[in-house]
Chains A and B, each alone.
Chain A
Amino acid sequence: DTEVTQTPKHLVMGMTNKKSLKCEQHMGHRAMYWYKQKAKKPPELMFVYSYEKLSINESVPSRFSPECPNSSLLNLHLHALQPEDSALYLCASSQGTGMGTDTQYFGPGTRLTVL
């Protein structure tokens, strides 16, 4: 099983809403990642979790709050987002610690629209 799953596939939310994005992998990977991708741009790294601990936060605003409940799950809690936060949010996982030369496997993404 080389699959990373993400739910929901699409999400529309208002600026005052609170919502969560979910990511799951059952490959036994120890590193999980959140990326944000705007149209016609490469993915931009937001957070890295290594062994369920946050190891990298790429200066992401606090309205994005990641959570790693266990080694298979990664959440991204959203609150008070802005319309410019509308993007495709990608989750990825990799076998290593998140700081090595290991291949990342991506989920299908959640298309987020903030009204």
Chain B
Amino acid sequence: DQQVKQNSPSLSVQEGRISILNCDYTNSMFDYFLWYKKYPAEGPTFLISISSIKDKNEDGRFTVFLNKSAKHLSLHIVPSQPGDSAVYFCAAISLGQNFVFGPGTRLSVLP
């Protein structure tokens, strides 16, 4: 049973527009969420995180929103750039447990 889901395997966005990547989770014990970006044949790069006590965290072009009641979080990238093209993994963690990664969403930003 997948505890962290990313239902869109891929997403294409025009350069300069907003990219919205979604993530849903089932385990209400998760209390910290992270987004990682991954290029082929490279390790995941940490992007942004959010604690369950917050509903929004912003870092430059990246904003993560958390809706605890819906068990849903999203990553917004504004404006999207071609260099943002990568696979984005949502990850969740609860105290005493280890990371649970979602299956990933491949983002393509078209020039």
In the complex, per-residue mask of B27-63: 1 if CB is within 8 Å of any chain A CB, else 0: 0000110101000011111100101000000000000
CA distance A74 to B7 in the complex (A): 34
Count contacts on B: residues with CB < 8 A to the other chain. 24
In the complex, per-residue mask of A97-114: 1 if CB is within 8 Å of any chain B CB, else 0: 011110111111101000
Residue of A nearest to B45 (CB): A106
- Contact pick for A104, options B41, B46, B51, B94, CB 8 Å: B46
**Interface residues of B, dominant DSSP:** loop
Contact A42 B89 (CB under 8 A): yes
A32 neighbours in B (Cβ, 8 Å): none
Contact B99 A104 (CB under 8 A): yes
Residue of B nearest to A31 (CB): B98
Question: Within 8 Å of chain A (Cβ to Cβ): is B78?
Answer: no
Name the residue in A43, A91, A101, A111 with the highest tally of chain B Cβ atoms < 10 Å from its Cβ: A101
Contact A103 B41 (CB under 8 A): no
Least CB distance, A41 to chain B, in whole angstroms = 7
Question: Within 8 Å of chain A (Cβ to Cβ): is B20?
Answer: no
Contact B51 A109 (CB under 8 A): no
Contact B98 A45 (CB under 8 A): yes
- Contact pick for A109, options B43, B46, B95, CB 8 Å: B43
Binding site for A on B (CB under 8 A): 31-32, 34, 36, 41-46, 49, 51, 89, 93-99, 101-104
In the complex, 28 of the A-B residue pairs with CB atoms within 8 angstroms, ordered by the A residue number, are A4-B43, A6-B43, A42-B89, A42-B101, A42-B102, A43-B44, A43-B89, A43-B101, A45-B99, A48-B98, A56-B98, A90-B43, A90-B44, A92-B43, A99-B95, A100-B96, A101-B32, A101-B93, A103-B34, A103-B46, A103-B49, A104-B99, A106-B36, A106-B46, A108-B43, A109-B41, A109-B42, A111-B41
